Structure 1
Amino acid sequence: MAQVTTADVVLRAQRCWVDALAHGERLAPAVAEVLTEAGARPRDLAAIVAGVGPGPFTGLRVGLVTAASMGHALGVPTYGVCSLDALGWAATDPSRGGDDRVLVATDARRREVYWAVYAAGRRVTDPAVDAPAVVATRVAELGVSAAVGEGARRYAEVLGLPVRPEPCFPPAEALVILAAERIRAKAPGEPLTPLYLRRPDAVTPKGRKPVLQ
């Protein structure tokens, strides 16, 4: 949870955990804990900000449905932010100066990563999903000097870049900072559309196969 002022974003409370099998069970209690720690109630919220991916299908669905449901129940706008952008902003915060290019790579499973390159808080390449070897070739062409993210740590040897320990996951503060202009302007809420980048494993059957009697 963060407070958005006319000139700043102040983080009040947050929770972060890694558990691919307990999204639904842990998310609602975590929201309640954050509100309690910040001394706030649900009706004190003026907006809901959510990372829209790219990420695994189940985790994204759970998070975005929860965010959209809260926004609807409270009558407040919802704003989406690319999750890679939050990592990229935190890794290349423009207030610190410098224009080094940094790779943001998160684990996409199937021996692939979701990735994009950032400099001075801005995205240099579109989000993509590729094998680490493909990414290694691209970042060499782009003059990238370092990497962050869970995918960067997992495939550091293939990527051939020094990996910074933080941030590893999208920081809550960065998500809010990237939505702050919309919040201050009281912009209309947006549908929270997940950024998947690839098709799901499960597909709808096209029809029943004939059975011989």
Structure 2
Amino acid sequence: MLLLAFDTSTSAVSVALRDEAGQLASSHVVDAQAHGEILAPGMRAVFAEAGRRPDELTHVVVGVGPGPFTGLRVGIVSALTLAHALDLSAHGVCGLDVLAHRAWSAGVRERILVAIDARRKEVYWAAYTLTGEGFTADDEPQVARAADLPEEVRHLPNIGRGGLLYPDELPVRLIRCEDVLDVEAGDVADLAVRLLGQGRDLLPPEPLYLRRPDAVPSQSVKSVLAR
């Protein structure tokens, strides 16, 4: 196995390469405005550091969000293009699941909140229950203002950038992971390997936007489309 994982769904552009024994190399750059410029150099860097080649890959896994349109598009299109060039299938994982997996790997065994920046003074969020066997999501990922989350959810220990951005609304940081803010590709790879090892399917490489796009057709465009 040689698995390339990357994520562009948060403020970070993160890439990791791993094999059966563990992580071989990684790149993690925080820059919410330059996903397209950073991703390809990050990929080249991890292959060079590990002394491996893209044609040795057996798996390509990308974070599918939730996240903003531009960031997600960069990662998912890159995954599809690379997989097509290598005659592989691209797979996806949910970024909120990745952060829940990070907490589980750190030994957390309780109910937690995963909340990341959704901009517009909102967070993408989901609550998870972590046990010795693994983690389960209490519901589907959602987007909302931090203050509008259910009261009991807002006071769960939280992981992700959301609790840092809105400490008054999400006051309880998950101590073991309080410095974990964005999705890291090493965790994407670890979760993918765990799921594959359990014989479970990964997600299709399709974006979890959770919002309608900002751009809408003008009246003139609508009239043309209606013809």
Q: TM-score, normalised by structure 2?
A: 0.79
Residue 220 of structure 2 aligns to a residue in which SS?
A: coil
Shift in alpha-carbon separation, 1:90–1:61, aligned structure 2, 3 A: same
Residue 130 (structure 1) aligned with residue 141 (structure 2): no
Q: Pairwise mapping of residues 63-78 of structure 1 onto structure 2 (< 5 A)? A: 63-78=75-90
Q: Pairwise mapping of residues 1-213 of structure 1 onto structure 2 (< 5 A)? A: 1-5=16-20, 10-93=22-105, 96=107, 99-120=109-130, 121-135=135-149, 137-139=151-153, 144=156, 146-164=157-175, 165-180=178-193, 183=196, 191-207=204-220
**Distance in 1 between residues matched to 2:202 and 2:172, nearest whole Å:** 39
Residue 204 of structure 1 aligns to a residue in which SS?
A: coil
Deviation by residue 1:134-158 (Cα, 9 ceiling, x = unmatched): 1252505xx72x1111112101111
Shift in alpha-carbon separation, 1:196–1:105, aligned structure 2, 3 A: same
Shift in alpha-carbon separation, 1:198–1:122, aligned structure 2, 3 A: same
Task: Kindly indicate whether the alpha-carbon contact (under 8 Å) linking 2:91 and 2:204 is maintained by their aligned counterparts in 1.
Answer: yes
Q: Which amino acid aligns with 1:175?
A: V
Residue 143 of structure 2 aligns to a residue in which SS?
A: strand
Could you tell me how far 1:80 is from its partner in structure 2?
0.4
What residue in structure 1 maps to residue 225 of structure 2?
none
Residue 14 of structure 1 aligns to a residue in which SS?
A: strand
Shift in alpha-carbon separation, 1:119–1:184, aligned structure 2, 3 A: closer
Identity %: 40
**Distance in 2 between residues matched to 1:35 and 1:186, nearest whole Å:** 27
Shift in alpha-carbon separation, 1:130–1:208, aligned structure 2, 3 A: closer
Cα RMSD after superposing both structures: 2.6
Larger displacement relative to structure 2 (24-33 or 162-171) = 162-171
Could you tell me how far 1:186 is from its partner in structure 2?
9.3
Structure 1 gaps of 5+ residues are: none
**Distance in 1 between residues matched to 2:167 and 2:184, nearest whole Å:** 21
Bigger Cα Rg: 1
Q: Which amino acid aligns with 1:198?
A: R
Q: TM-score, normalised by structure 1?
A: 0.84
Could you tell me how far 1:180 is from its partner in structure 2?
2.1
Could you tell me how far 1:172 is from its partner in structure 2?
1.8
Report the structure, 1 or 2, having the larger strand content.
2
Q: Which amino acid aligns with 1:108?
A: A
Structure 2 gaps of 5+ residues are: 1-15, 223-227
